[in-house]
Chains A and B, each alone.
Chain A
């Protein structure tokens, strides 16, 4: 060797684990695939196309933003935009026109993510912000695009057109025509509305009317809180957003993420646990007689719990903070479901809690090693 050899300098550590942001993002995408398969099975190829359009739009919007801001455009393919696009589509009713996911996805990326500085800097979950934007701007489309599961294959002869609630049990409900909602949670909300009407009737002294309304509300709820409903919810035969159909397949994705060490269990467990506990305590007509299973299985809490409550960027990094976040989101979800104006509160609960993340992080830092501990 001629002359003294010179080496380039570098900072320690000189080795690094093989986990990368890109791998994490692609793991999340893989974990979303079973639920995508369920969406396609129950809602048809149209649902798949909505996801595809939404994802493609997200990547394109990310690319254009990066290009415009003269940042490395390779970020557009790091998988994070794809995750946002997929999650936005998962939060849409299956029957929406294609321009809706395009608009929502573009809003999610441009306003929800890139406006704050791109990956890692956004304050709230971009996909949920995109959804909130669509709900606010196109309320009718966002609440009327529900499709009955498997309608696309069976047409009018579909046996599941009661949106997950077994047809037989619905038929047993007196004045079943009162059920005009399209998702199990809509139906539940209607039962609460009937309770409200009953209360007013009782005040007016019309006890007979009140008794009838209450009876109907209870009949609807017992149809909802039944093994047949649970089965449909688990499998995915229900009306609802695209991605929230099959609880089993969502859990399959979740387990994959746990194995890949991407999903940290504190967030989803504290969230779903709070939902269940709240449902049991306050979800029924009295105290502690609610149905936790129905509340966990229905709506978007499993999708939200696995993929959005545990979104890394917008949730706390401290162990204690994650539990607080999950509990907070769970409480808000259930307050909205039980007493709020919307049948489902999952996405708003997460958006609201996202805003508290910096504060939670700051005040839940772990006790530093060696700080005030008795060595007795």
Chain B
């Protein structure tokens, strides 16, 4: 095994992964009613092409792609459309969704299965991945086919598969690597074939030695990484893997690298080999706020409440519900929101786990400056933002912030640094539009 690599900065929140890392993935049958969001990806929502009362089949397209950065949406079940309407979403706002009464869950193969992807051209494969609605399953949900279509002139030489899973608590990618390494490997090979790269590797943190060992045994090149948050952030992963820095305001593509999550690789493998659109994902349901944490293989559109029930329900002292991990996840007021392609975890935290610190003044200790993986000065940006000095916030690089939360995590005064910086970003962007 090669020496573990990493990036500069970052922090070490307690992993808390042992709550669920030993729980094998359990398949959850689709509930009676699935709420399929029409915008599970980054970009424009797909346009609904079914109406109330329509019968739909598993894998059938129910929303059509709407622009370049967009994707089609498919039905995860066989059933009848009971409504097309706005519903609460895990990103806290409401969004358009197709609500389907489930009848059964079989079928789903809507494209021709291609057992040998090398018999097809990269263009055909990218088109298949687009039609299958595959988007990044690590969190940002960027349409995968766009990442596979570099504009002419951009030369890609490295593909990094992201199995880092640096968010505390989450174990979905870990379990996926342990239980389905074959599909990850196939997906990785298809992605590398699409991009025409010879150099492809899987980045995994050292806290998952079993996954590193297994993936290596399956013949994958593994890049062992030190345990450090946010190692799984695209820029930090590329830095560790290649020593290259994604230019500020640029894309990994600009320096010849494409990063795809392990879950995405599996979705790609299924789309090509099995001819099945992206309909399912692995979700970790964890935290001390649920009775028995676990990892679940669920249909998109499954309400969080169903997963909570599968995990034995809430405990008495549950306080906070989060979609995603504890560092970047979004706190929700209700569990009646559906799983999307980007839902990596459902976190129920108790009062002893969730942050319960009131905000104090900045004592300029500089811990955020040392920890920021993008080498920003979070305390100074936050101070500028608090005082409405958007010009100064911009000068200090506020727009570079990826909101990883490292600064807020290390702040001894409990300052909501990410919040202030996000506020500055909104204000700077709004001002940019005005002028």
Contact = CB atoms under 8 A, between A and B. Distances in A.
A12 B410 CA distance: 13
Given A120-B363, A368-B376, A17 B409 contact: yes
Nearest to A266: B366
Contacts of A20: 357, 412-414
B419 A15 contact: no
Interface stretch (B25-33, B50-58, B367-375): B367-375
A361 B377 contact: yes
A12 B324 CA distance: 11
Contacts of A13: 326-328, 355, 405, 408-409, 418
Interface string B350-367: 000111010011111111
Contacts of B365: 24, 312, 317
Interface in B188-231: none
Contacts of B335: 5
Interface centre among A5, A8, A15, by most chain B C-beta atoms within 10 angstroms, is A15
Contacts of A7: 319-321, 331-334
B245 interface: yes
B329 interface: yes
Contact of B412 (A1, A23, A322): A23
Interface centre among A1, A6, A21, A313, by most chain B C-beta atoms within 10 angstroms, is A21
A353 B23 CA distance: 57
Interface of A (DSSP majority class): loop
Contacts, number: 175
A317 B355 contact: no
A279 B321 CA distance: 61
A367 B376 CA distance: 8
Contacts of B14: 15
A306 to B, nearest CB: 16
Given A7-B321, A15-B327, A365 B245 contact: no
Given A5-B335, A8-B319, A21-B363, A15 B245 contact: no
Q: How large is the interface on A (under 10, 10 to 19, 20 to 34, 35 or more residues)?
A: 35 or more
Nearest to A362: B380
A305 to B, nearest CB: 17
A226 to B, nearest CB: 40
B355 A369 contact: no
Interface string B393-431: 000110010010100111111101011000000000000
Contacts of A80: 363
A24 B414 CA distance: 13
A19 interface: yes
B302 interface: no
B328 A366 contact: no
Contacts of B64: none
Contacts of A316: 366
Given A15-B409, A20-B357, A313-B363, A6 B369 contact: no
Given A12-B328, A15-B13, A17-B11, A119 B361 contact: yes
B245 A370 contact: yes
A120 B377 contact: no
Contacts of A70: none
B306 interface: no
Given A4-B336, A6-B333, A312-B366, A17 B410 contact: yes
Interface in B1-54: 11, 13-14
A369 B406 CA distance: 15
Nearest to B249: A370
Contact of B400 (A1, A5, A370): A370
Given A14-B355, A20-B414, A317 B247 contact: no
B334 A4 contact: yes
Interface string B251-272: 0000100000000000000000
A47 to B, nearest CB: 29
Contacts of B403: 12
A118 B245 contact: no
A367 B39 CA distance: 36
Nearest to B313: A1
A78 B255 CA distance: 48
B329 A368 contact: no
Interface string A299-323: 0000000000000111111110010
B360 A119 contact: yes
B349 interface: yes
A369 B333 contact: no
B313 to A, nearest CB: 8
Nearest to B400: A368
Interface in A180-206: none
A12 B418 contact: yes
A2 interface: no
A264 B361 CA distance: 20
Contacts of A140: none
B363 A368 contact: no
B354 A10 contact: yes
Contacts of B349: 14
Nearest to B347: A14
Nearest to B236: A369
Contacts of A121: 361
Contact of A120 (B168, B322, B362, B376): B362
Given A15-B168, A375-B245, A366 B364 contact: no
B235 interface: yes
A360 B222 CA distance: 43
Given A5-B335, A369-B400, A318 B366 contact: yes
Contacts of A17: 11, 13, 409-412
Interface in B275-322: 313-314, 319-322
Nearest to B254: A375
A369 B252 CA distance: 13
Contacts of B367: 19
Given A13-B327, A14-B329, A120-B363, A369 B412 contact: no
A324 to B, nearest CB: 14
Contacts of B347: 14
A322 B366 CA distance: 10
Given A4-B334, A13-B418, A14-B355, A369 B235 contact: yes
Nearest to B16: A15
Nearest to B361: A120
B146 interface: no
B336 A14 contact: no
Nearest to A20: B412
A202 to B, nearest CB: 51
Contacts of B13: 15, 17
Interface in A247-261: none
28 contacts: A1-B313, A7-B320, A7-B321, A8-B319, A8-B331, A11-B418, A12-B331, A12-B405, A13-B327, A13-B418, A14-B326, A16-B408, A20-B357, A20-B412, A20-B413, A24-B363, A24-B365, A78-B360, A119-B360, A120-B364, A264-B370, A312-B366, A322-B366, A365-B377, A367-B375, A369-B239, A369-B375, A369-B400
Interface of A: 1, 4-17, 19-21, 23-24, 78, 80, 117-121, 264, 312-319, 322, 361, 365-371, 373, 375
Given A11-B416, A11-B419, A15-B326, 17 more contacts: A1-B314, A7-B331, A7-B332, A12-B326, A13-B408, A14-B347, A15-B353, A20-B412, A120-B363, A264-B366, A312-B363, A319-B370, A365-B380, A369-B235, A370-B374, A370-B400, A371-B248
